[in-house]
Amino acid sequence: MNHSYGSRLALTSVVILLGASLTACVHPKTHYRVIDLGTLSCPNGNCAVGTVNDVCEVAGYEETNGEDWALVWQPTMSGAWVKTVLPPPTLQYAAGSWANKSILSATNFRAFSINNFGEVIGYGKGPRNEAVLWRTRAVPDPAGFGSGQPAVVGAYLGGLPNNGAVSEGFGINTAAQTVGNSKDMIAILASQWSRTSGMSTLGSSLLPTNGVAPSHAVAIDDRGDIAGDATVNLGAAGSTTHAFYWDPTPSSPATTATMLDLGTLPGGQGNSKATAVINPGSFGPVVVGVSTVTGGTHAFSWRPSTGMVDLKDLPGGGEGGGADAVGTAGVFGYGTVAAGKHAVGWPLIDLDQAPKTTAIDLNSLITPPGSMGTVVLEEATGVNGIGIVAVLGTVNTTAQHAFLLVPAADDLPGFFGPSLFSGACGRPAQQ
């Protein structure tokens, strides 16, 4: 699988340039083929499907026998995905290298994001939280675990100086730079980590007075753009949480990169949180997330040129929507219908010239094989460079499953044929 990664990158680049209007465009005429990755153990809803990378590997976690287990789903040439439980970390980050870890720091583990090299970020919890980075393939290895370690290995990343190792990890990019939060001597702060620089804060929080306040970084793209949420001061009204965008390369060389307060949508209680960011260079940064509105929450998208835009809920919904992912394929997340929560997509590039705030129920764009049972897509959690979407849903109303949605354009003959999916994901052309 690893030896062909370079060709897959080249293929992905071609798709982004030539196929954004075909394979990777969410609109009412696009349909998806459903791939069932299998069941998830989710007592009390304690499970998650995370991001999907360009070779169709997916991160997530589930609860089994009262413990959380970090997971990765990986495709095989046999046409099936294998779900692997990621092992407890045996290494510890220390001053740019990896040392053996002799003391168990955590007993439960969650995974949220995976990069194109199969490196996964998450955290362990109990007796204390600490960010964890896993390698799931021996090479390539941007995190530098080295050939002396097992192919699948995990490492604790530590925390900010002077506070031991209290931290959490949520986002990772291709260079194995991660983001999350860590606690210094006073408060929990948004943080970033790299093997060369270790753990550092993103600067002061959005709260301008009264010291520092909680902040969390949850997403990072390959350019180094970061998104998350931080506390803002409302004066006599107290404080609240706002989404932020962090630009690693501010326009002025003399300007230090700082959090940009993205505000909130009108109405509601004035809260917002960012969940994903993309900056391909052609149209600048796009940040998505969730914000309160009158009566509930809506997904939002933000660009410097537009500010925060309300993506709205599904028609007749209960004002309970949010966005989890953004890519050239569009914005993805969840909305509500009378029956409950449904996975949703919003156009980022819209050939039909429909309003970009039109929420599209992804359940209306699928025709699962009859053998799969009754499928309900509940939340779209990730999208990769060729428009394949990771989704959490149910089969036959009760069993939680992880799914991948493959754009139906992949089934067309010629260049945009099944070879696109099988070439990128190591899978036969048809199921």
Distance of CA 382 to the CA centre of its chain: 5
Q: What is the pLDDT of residue 2?
A: 32
CATH code for the domain defined by 2-203+211-248+255-425: 2.130.10.150
Contact 287, 294 (CB under 8 A): no
Give the span between the Cα atoms of 197 and 95, in whole angstroms.
Answer: 8
The encoded tokens of residue 52 equal 């999907």
Q: What is the pLDDT of residue 89?
A: 95
Domains of the chain, by residue range, sit at 2-203+211-248+255-425
pTM (2 decimals)?
0.89
pLDDT-derived band at 370 (thresholds 50, 70, 90) equals confident
Which tens digit of pLDDT belongs to each residue from 242-300?
A: 999 999 887 656 556 788 999 999 887 789 999 999 998 777 799 999 999 999 999 99
Which tens digit of pLDDT belongs to each residue from 84-138?
A: 999 999 999 998 999 998 777 788 999 999 999 999 999 999 878 999 999 999 8
**β partners of residue 366:** 32
Which tens digit of pLDDT belongs to each residue from 331-362?
A: 999 999 998 999 999 987 655 555 578 899 99
Per-residue burial over 333-359, b if 16 or more Cβ lie within 10 Å, else e, is bbbbbeeebbbbbbbbebeeeeebebb
Contacts of 10 (CB under 8 A, 6+ apart): none
∠ CA 58-102-163, nearest 5°, is 80
Give the span between the Cα atoms of 226 and 172, in whole angstroms.
Answer: 10
In the DSSP assignment, the letter for residue 423 is: H
- Span 223-248, average pLDDT: 90
